[in-house]
């Protein structure tokens, strides 16, 4: 990684990059905040912003832009940050399955990032390209993953828990209203066993179907 980054920009503080990446790993799925990423280091905010850009260019970090029905509004809203690999995130944070079981917040972040990266990978097989976003309205109601394919919009909320309630679909219902006739459907991906309907075009779907469906195809 350090050799690749040196070739990209010949930056000096290479020892800072693993620390910055570990901090970014702890903030995976959160809104990108350059000031917060810069605060532990004795370097300027523009420098950290440049380093984050470099980490994106070598696919260790990824920005997930906001979705809005007005495309111009997307440009002024804040993206989320995702790690490119959840296994690397665990190594950087020094956590294993036992540690994650006791830290539900971090587990939820990494499960969301895993689901996002898996959906991105599977979407790459499609003939019609997909664009990925997150949704967050003025009331801070959110949808973790929004997929735009042609004129269709779909959403996914990711839960590390084994139960789903009607309240978990609040963000998806707001997305459906914002997308109007373009809304194709929404799912809460959860650590459960069965698919359950929660109204028109809304379902709770087991997370494991992301990879089990793929295995059946193979």
Given this model, what pLDDT does residue 162 score? Answer: 94
Cα radius of gyration (the chain): 18
Q: Residue 164: what are its φ and ψ, rounded to 5°?
A: -130, 135
Given this model, what pLDDT does residue 214 score? Answer: 52
Neighbours of 138 (CB within 10 A): 5
Q: Quote the distance between the C-alpha of residue 87 and its chain's center.
A: 15
Given this model, what pLDDT does residue 217 score? Answer: 46
CA distance 88 to 98: 17
Query: Where do the structural domains in the chain lie, given as residue ranges?
Result: 2-217
Tokens, residue 140:
């801070």
Looking up tokens 């997305």 gives 175
What separation in angstroms does the CA of 50 have from each of 6, 36, 132? 13, 14, 23
Beta-carbon contacts of residue 212 (< 8 Å; ≥ 6 apart): none
Given this model, what pLDDT does residue 157 score? Answer: 98
CA distance 115 to 64: 13
Tokens, residue 74:
């997307």
In 3-state terms, what secondary structure has residue 81? strand
- Model pTM? 0.89
pLDDT tens, the chain, 218 aa long:
555 555 555 555 667 888 899 999 999 999 999 999 999 988 889 888 988 988 998 899 999 999 987 776 776 689 999 999 999 999 999 999 999 999 999 999 999 999 999 999 999 989 889 999 999 988 999 999 999 999 999 999 999 999 999 999 999 999 999 999 999 999 999 999 999 999 999 999 999 998 885 544 44
- Would you put residue 94 in left (φ > 0), alpha (ψ -120 to 50) or beta? left
Residues pairing with 153 in the sheet? 148, 183
Given this model, what pLDDT does residue 204 score? Answer: 98
Residue (of 178, 124, 168) closest to 146 by Cα position: 178
What topology is assigned to 2-217 in CATH?
Answer: Arc Repressor Mutant, subunit A (1.10.10)
Can you state the percent helix, strand and coil of the chain, rounding each to 5?
45, 20, 35
3-state secondary structure 42-97: CCCHHHHHHHHHHHHHCCCEEEECECCCCHHHHCCCCCEEEECCHHHHHHHHCCCH
Given this model, what pLDDT does residue 4 score? Answer: 55
Given this model, what pLDDT does residue 2 score? Answer: 56
Residue (of 129, 93, 1) closest to 54 by Cα position: 1
């Amino acid at each position: 990684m350090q050799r690749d980054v040196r070739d990209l920009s010949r930056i000096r503080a290479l020892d800072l990059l693993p620390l910055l990446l570990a901090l970014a790993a702890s903030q995976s799925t959160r809104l990108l905040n350059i000031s917060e990423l810069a605060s532990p280091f004795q370097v300027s905010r523009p420098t950290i912003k440049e380093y984050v850009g470099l980490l994106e260019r070598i696919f260790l970090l990824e920005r997930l832009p906001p979705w809005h029905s007005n495309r111009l509004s997307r440009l002024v809203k804040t993206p989320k940050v995702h790690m490119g690999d959840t296994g690397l995130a665990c190594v950087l944070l020094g956590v294993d399955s036992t540690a994650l079981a006791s830290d539900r917040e971090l587990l939820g972040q990494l499960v969301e990032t895993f689901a996002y990266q898996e959906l991105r990978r599977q979407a790459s097989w499609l003939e019609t390209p997909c664009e990925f976003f997150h949704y967050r309205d003025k009331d801070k109601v959110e949808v973790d993953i929004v997929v735009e394919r042609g004129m269709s919009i779909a959403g996914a909320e990711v839960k590390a828990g084994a139960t789903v309630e009607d309240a978990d679909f609040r963000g998806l219902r707001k997305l459906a209203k914002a997308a109007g006739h373009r809304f194709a459907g929404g799912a809460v991906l959860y650590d459960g066993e069965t698919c359950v309907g929660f109204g028109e075009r809304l379902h709770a779907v087991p997370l494991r179907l992301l990879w089990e469906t793929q295995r059946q195809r193979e």
